[in-house]
Amino acid sequence: MLKIILADNQAIFRAGIAKVLAVEDHVRIVAQAQSVEQAMIAVEKFRGSVMIYASSFLPDTERIAALARESGIQLVVIAENSELPDRYLNAGILGLIFRSVDAVELLKCVRKVSVGEVYLQDLRAVPHNAETDDFVGARVRDRLTPKELKIVALIVQGFKNKEIANLLGTTEQVVKNYLRNVYDKIGVSDRLELALFTIHHRILAEAAAASAATMRAMPIPVNPGSTQ
């Protein structure tokens, strides 16, 4: 049985990775960590595992790599598309994948790393010109209103409908109305699929994050379908 530790401060992203790995009979998620402290505890407790962690979540790569070696744990880092693999390879990390990794490549990486092999996602396969290479992401971005992008960003960050409503000064029902519109425009059925779609399409994720950073919290009209 291959034991997996997931370490990332984005709950929905962890849920997405867990959903992908859950279909494998020989894979078991033994721990999920949303903080550095939780990750360190998991590393010491679940020896002989593979830990998948986000590069932004554990900046002290050398320290976690050293502890992982002592515990017999292999590491897979989820890097941002702009990052180079050198710092991770120099620390002894065997696996490197990017945020846009698909399920097939994720599983391939975990299998290789679990037996001590190095697996690096090909950097050349990651789009560098998002506007031209990610037509789907760009098209979805252009179909969403600024308010919808704001809600998408909050969903990706793991906020619940009630929390989003409080942040925007509106009601849960209005947020639900907006989410239905977003689901229809993107072609997803729930918030998990929405988060995974957004994370996979970097150009959409960046637009949502920018909208969340610049848009003031203000009441949203009751009928979101009329605000295009």
Q: What is the pLDDT of residues 69-98, one digit of tens each?
A: 888 999 999 887 666 777 788 888 899 988
β-pairing verdict for 74-79 and 27-33: unpaired
**Per-position DSSP letters for 18-69, written without gaps between them:** HHHHTT-TTEEEEEEESSHHHHHHHHHHSTT-EEEEETTT---HHHHHHHHH
DSSP label of 219:
P
- Cα-based torsion angle of the residue sequence 3, 157, 191, 188 in order, rounded to the nearest 10 degrees: -100
Which helix H or strand E contains 140, and what residues bound it? helix 135-143
Q: What SS3 state is found at 117?
A: coil
- Whether pLDDT at 224 is above 50: no
Which residue has tokens 């390879």? Answer: 89
* Neighbouring residues of 11: CB distance < 8 A, sequence distance ≥ 6: 34, 158
CB contact at 8 A, 220 and 154: no
**Tell me, what's the pLDDT at 228?**
40
- pLDDT-derived band at 59 (thresholds 50, 70, 90) equals low
**Residues β-bridged to residue 3:** 28
For residue 94, with 0-12 CB atoms within 10 Å meaning exposed, 13-18 middle and 19 or more buried, which class applies?
buried
**Tell me, what's the pLDDT at 66?**
86
- pLDDT-derived band at 219 (thresholds 50, 70, 90) equals very low
Q: What is the pLDDT of residues 107-163, one digit of tens each?
A: 899 999 999 999 998 765 554 444 444 667 788 888 999 999 999 999 988 899 999
Q: What is the pLDDT of residues 179-216, one digit of tens each?
A: 999 999 888 888 888 888 888 787 888 888 888 776 54
